[in-house]
């Protein structure tokens, strides 16, 4: 009985750690995508204009999508999400770009998605 209990605790702990890693890897991939678009706006493109709509990228787990539009980068959670989840995402992106002079602001727009503002 004791061995069974230890086994159950071990399996639960392992599944918990694995799920945390999935969330972390999803955010890591999201940051890589947003970094790519921020870099492009400072080196290649003056603005994405409306062509940015065709540049939309989604994380491999389909949790987030990123669409550049003009000098804004729109980040959307692709599954049902509460305002608290969007606020947590905004804070994570704001922290990620805290010392990046190319990013002016990270905010939640009236449509509910997160916007990375790279306007001059």
Instruction: Write out the DSSP string of 2-16.
Output: HHHHHHHHHHHHHHH
pLDDT in tens, 15-36: 444 444 445 778 999 999 999 9
Residues 6+ apart with CB under 8 A from 110: none
Helical axes 2-43 vs 83-96, angle rounded to 10°: 60
To which residue do tokens 């940051």 refer? 31
Q: Please state, in angstroms and rounded to a whole number, the distance separating the CA atoms of residues 69 and 116.
A: 10
pLDDT in tens, 70-86: 899 999 999 999 999 99
| Per-residue pLDDT, 112 | 87
Q: Please state, in angstroms and rounded to a whole number, the distance separating the CA atoms of residues 118 and 71.
A: 5
- Mean pLDDT computed over every residue of the chain: 82
| Per-residue pLDDT, 71 | 92
């Amino acid at each position: 009985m004791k061995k069974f209990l230890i086994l159950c605790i071990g399996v639960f702990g392992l599944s918990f750690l694995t799920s945390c890693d999935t969330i972390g890897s999803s955010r890591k991939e999201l940051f890589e995508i947003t970094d790519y678009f921020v870099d492009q706006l400072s080196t290649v493109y003056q603005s994405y204009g409306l062509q940015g709509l065709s540049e939309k990228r989604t994380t491999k787990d389909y949790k987030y999508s990123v669409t550049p539009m003009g000098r804004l980068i729109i980040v959307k959670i692709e599954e049902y999400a509460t305002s608290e989840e969007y606020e947590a995402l905004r804070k994570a992106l704001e922290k990620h770009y805290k010392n990046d002079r190319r990013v002016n602001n990270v905010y939640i727009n009236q449509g509910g998605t997160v916007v990375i503002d790279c306007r001059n």
